[in-house]
Structure 1
Amino acid sequence: MKAYVIEQPGGPEVLQMRDIASPEPGADEVQIRVRAFGVNRAEVYRRTGKMGPISGQVVPGIEAVGEVIHDPAGVFRTGHPVATAMGGLQFSRNGSYAEQITVLRSNVISLDGTALSWEELAALPEAYLTIWGALDKSLAIDQGQTLLVRGATASVGLAAVAYAKASGLRVIATTRSPANRERLEQMGADDVVIDAGEVANAVRELVPDGVDAVLEVVGAATLRDSIKTLRPFGAATVIGLLGGAPVLEQFHLTQDLPAATRLNFFPSGLFGTPAMPLADTPLRWVAQETAAGRMPSLRTQTFDFDDVRRAHSLLESDRALGKLVVRI
């Protein structure tokens, strides 16, 4: 099969197309024919060596959609449409930048009954699974609450805006560029705050008593300011590292953390583990809502399989404003 491999860290040019073997599935695995996959920051970080050393051939990619080739346990029939994400992809096993992948069955989600194209489906798994974990599991969002999405123009931020709005929340989204206001409003944002480094005062003008929840996509660089927007007993979850290393120096629990608020980090590596089984994931619901036009599409551009390097370059330029997808 054809796959992209990385043999040394570097720019998009280190992504090399190779013919490699497709591993046969073990008892707890499923072999999938990849039809499309999303492009993520995690793959850029893997390519540049920011997510561990590169030894031997590394196949990048943390998500994919496609059809089952073989499931030794017979849980999924041949040809069954499925999605997969994480479960060791690009680290302990070959990633999704390939014509076929072999993945853990616990990280496979049925897409039976969905009407979206492969390209549209490929925009969903990593983004919406992350948002499901962060908003439903970590923040326990509820209809009628107010959510602040800090760094909302990242693809996962856009997914958060769309998912929270569809779940009945008031959504405040931030962006550094006024030009992105329309895109955020299209995704469902009720209010857009232009981020010049601090947004707490502007958010407090909109919600004087404080927001119920904060989704921090930028990371440690803006966290102190973001949590100032929380009401007592509100909560913040960090999911992004766009602002640099995930380190808070000299964080003062009584001065920096507002009274009676909660703070945590949600890692997508929990997908498919006993702590976060995927049996009740809303991914099919998201696909159905997107197909019906009740949720906006995340996808902004689709690339052919031989054009992955250009997709990486666009993602690194911060001009994507949505999900980049590669079709095979």
Structure 2
Amino acid sequence: MKAVEISRPGGPEVLTLCDRPMPEPAADQVVIKVAYAGVNRPDALQRAGAYDPPKGASDLPGLECAGTIHAVGTDVAGLSVGDAVCALLPGGGYAEYVATPAAHCLPVPDGMTLKQAACLPETYFTVWSNVFMRGGLKAGERFLVHGGSSGIGTTAIQLGAVLGARVFTTAGSQDKLAVCRDLGAEIAIDYKAEDFVEVVKGEGGADLILDMVGGSYMQRNINALADDGRLVQIAFLQGIKAELNMVQMMTRRLTLTGSTLRPQSDLAKARIADQLRAHVWPLLAARRVGPVMDQEFALADAAQAHARMEAGDHIGKIFLRV
């Protein structure tokens, strides 16, 4: 099969088209014939040599895809060859075929194309597990989403708004802010021209913040939280180190938490999939939420896809046509 491998740690140019053996399914796995694969920040970190795949995972990048079932393992029930699915992957999505646990597959939502479905798993697994399972967002709460125009951000805004939260977000251009408002953000903050701490505190502070920036944002996020607020950290684009005033943690009863998705156990990911199937897939089928899609690239042009993602001009998901 054709695939894109990381020839050496480095920039987008190290992504190289290659030939690889076809994967075989383990007992609890399926092999998917990939139609489209999503492009995500962890792919770029792996390419740069900063994010090793979990033990036993493919060394090929790619954490989500959509396509049709090509083969099923001996212990798999409920999925058959030819079924259209989208799936969270341990790796290997930048390829014509990929193996993944059957429990991490979800049906393509009614009326949705494979192209659209390929943009769902990584962001919806991440947002649901961090914002709702870990962060406990409730209707009526004030929810601040940083990076509102990213794949994660556009998903978090939609889910927060449709489930009754007051959603605030940050972005860096008027076009991005307009998209965020259209998706359900009540207040969209230009982080280049406004202080998000002042804006959010003017609304009473955030009950929950979803942050992927880190660095100097960490103390500012603490300052922007309401009493009993929660900060959920999912990435550190600005850096992993910061000096924090931890007294506020005690005096205002704050919670700092976070997670990464890829290293979690197969069982943990299966539990997230079950919640998505029950709570989010009906919203997708009803068109109450959906993927925001930026640009499509051919598999052989994966380097261009990474360059676009790292330039920061995209709105929504970048994806590969396989």
Matches within 5 A, 1:1-328: 1-52=1-52, 58-72=59-73, 73-75=75-77, 76-86=79-89, 88-89=90-91, 95-106=92-103, 108-111=104-107, 114-196=110-192, 198-205=195-202, 207-208=203-204, 210-244=205-239, 246-248=240-242, 250-255=243-248, 259-269=252-262, 273-276=266-269, 277-282=271-276, 286=280, 289-290=283-284, 292-328=286-322
Query: More deviation in 6-15 or 157-166?
Result: 6-15
Shift, 1:153, TM fit: 2.1
Q: Residues 255, 290 of structure 1: CA spacing in aligned structure 2 closer, same or farther, 3 A cutoff?
A: closer
Partner Cα distance (2:250, 2:124) in 1: 28
Q: Is the 8 A contact 2:4 2:16 kept in 1?
A: yes
2:109–2:285 contact (8 Å) kept in structure 1: no
Deviation at residue 255 of structure 1 after TM alignment: 4.7
Aligned length: 314
Moved more, 310-319 or 275-284: 275-284
Query: AA paired with 1:34?
Result: V
In structure 1, how many angstroms separate the alpha carbons of the residues matched to 2:133 and 2:179? 27
Contact 1:39 1:311 in 2 (8 A): yes
Q: CA-to-partner distance for each residue in 1:258-306, whole Å, 9 max, x for gaps?
A: 6101110121136553345234232586455345442253112222223
Contact 1:235/1:262 (<8 A) preserved: yes
CA shift in 2, pair 1:18/1:284, >3 Å? farther
The gaps in structure 2 that reach 5 residues or longer are none
Aligned partners of 1:187 and 1:296 also within 8 Å: no
Structure 2 contact 215–236 (Cα < 8 Å) conserved: yes
1:121 is displaced (CA, Å) by 0.6
CA distance in 2 between counterparts of 1:129 and 1:43 reads: 16
CA shift in 2, pair 1:139/1:285, >3 Å = closer
Contact kept? 1:147, 1:170, Cα under 8 Å: yes
Q: 1:278 to 1:235 in 2, by over 3 A?
A: closer
For residue 235 of structure 1, what is the amino acid of its counterpart? R
Question: 1:167: how far off?
Answer: 1.0
For 1:193 and 1:247, the matched residues in 2 are separated by: 25
The 2-side partners of 1:38 and 1:272 are apart by 21
For 2:292 and 2:99, how far apart are their aligned partners in 1? 26
Superposed CA deviations along residues 195-223 of structure 1, whole A, max 9, x for unmatched, are: 13842112112x13x22111112123312
Partner of 1:92 in structure 2? none
Are residues 35 and 283 of structure 1, via their aligned partners in 2, closer, same or farther at CA, if it must alter by over 3 Å? farther
SS of 1:269's equivalent in the other structure is coil
Instruction: State the TM-score, normalized to the length of structure 2.
Output: 0.89
Listed one character per residue, the Cα deviations across residues 69-113 of structure 1 (whole Å, up to 9, x for unaligned) are 111224111112222224x32xxxxx100000112233x223155
Report SS of the residue matched to 2:267. Answer: coil
Q: 1:52 to 1:318 in 2, by over 3 A?
A: same
TM-score by length of 1: 0.88
Distance change (3 Å), C-alpha of 1:257 and 1:219: farther
Give the superposition deviation at 1:319: 0.6
3-state SS of paired residue (1:156):
helix
Structure 1: tracts of 5 or more residues without a match: 90-94
Distance 1:133 1:323, change over 3 A: same
Does the 8 Å CA contact 2:31/2:98 hold for their aligned counterparts? Answer: yes
